[in-house]
């Protein structure tokens, strides 16, 4: 992943997981652990995968956002209310996650900015899945997984993601 992306990419992808289609009861998804202000971190400096992009150096990306959850008819959606503008025009501007019973999941089809050896960028078609799992003290952790379908960066890239409340609960 080149330095031309913002944290927005974090919301797009994660490793393929079993059971992504299950839905949680509204009472679980309405948990305040996914409502409020969060520091999102995409650990691009810890990339792994078989794409050449996985070995290209990059710094972590961080941003603070407000997230709100709503449930209706057994489906729960968490929306980033103030997403940063994406640097890549192929990325969706709306950032929403769906609760699958244990994780918040987002899928996206877009073009990966593949950094070529000559310093130019090649847009390679990609599909990403981001998964966040609620954990201790309101912190959510997960993976931003991207399958780059063709081009110079063909392969996959995984990056750890976290969402930490900016006002954690007092324990």
Structure confidence by residue, pLDDT tens digits, 22-60:
333 334 433 445 899 999 999 999 999 999 999 999 999
Q: Are 15 and 131 in contact (CB under 8 A)?
A: yes
pTM of the model: 0.80
**CA-CA distance, 160 to 110, in Å (whole number)?**
19
Any domain includes 32: yes
Query: CB-based contacts of 66: which residues, under 8 Å, 6+ apart?
Result: 36, 37, 38, 80, 81, 82
Residue 1 lies in a domain: no
Q: What is the mean pLDDT of residues 135-159?
A: 96
Beta bridge partners of 65: 38
Q: How many residues does the chain have?
A: 171
Q: CA triplet 142, 127, 130: central angle to 5 degrees?
A: 15
Q: How many structural domains does the chain have? A: 1
Instruction: Take residue 72 and report the two structure tokens written for it.
Output: 């209706």
Q: How confident is the model at residue 73 (pLDDT cuts 50, 70, 90)?
A: confident
Could you read off the pLDDT of 108-133 as tens digits, one per residue?
999 999 999 999 999 999 999 999 99
Bridge partners, 111 (sequence order)? 125
| Residue (of 120, 113, 119, 109) closest to 153 by Cα position | 113
Looking at the domain assignment, is residue 89 inside a domain? yes
What average pLDDT does the segment 82-92 reach?
Answer: 88
Half-sphere exposure of 54 (CA within 13 A, CB side): 17
Backbone angles phi, psi at 43, to 5 degrees: -80, 70
In a domain? residue 48 = yes
User: Is 2 among the domain residues?
Assistant: no
Contact 78, 97 (CB under 8 A): yes
Q: Is residue 156 part of a domain?
A: yes
pLDDT at 137: 87
Q: Identify the DSSP state of 3.
A: T
Domain ranges, residue 122:
7-165
């Amino acid at each position: 992943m080149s330095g031309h992306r913002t944290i927005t990419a974090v919301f797009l992808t994660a490793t393929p997981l079993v059971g992504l289609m299950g839905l949680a009861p509204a009472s679980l998804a309405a948990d305040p652990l996914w409502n409020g202000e969060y520091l999102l971190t995409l650990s691009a400096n810890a990339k792994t995968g078989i794409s050449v992009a996985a070995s290209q150096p990059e710094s972590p990306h961080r941003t603070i956002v407000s997230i709100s959850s709503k449930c209706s008819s057994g489906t729960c959606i968490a929306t980033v209310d103030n997403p940063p503008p994406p640097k890549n025009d192929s990325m969706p501007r709306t950032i929403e996650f769906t609760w699958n019973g244990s994780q918040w999941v987002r899928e996206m089809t877009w073009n990966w900015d593949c950094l070529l050896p000559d310093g130019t960028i090649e847009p390679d078609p990609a599909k990403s899945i981001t998964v966040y799992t609620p954990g201790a003290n309101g912190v959510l952790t997960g993976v931003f997984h991207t399958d780059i379908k063709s081009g110079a960066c063909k392969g996959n890239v995984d990056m750890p993601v976290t969402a930490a409340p900016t006002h954690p609960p007092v324990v």
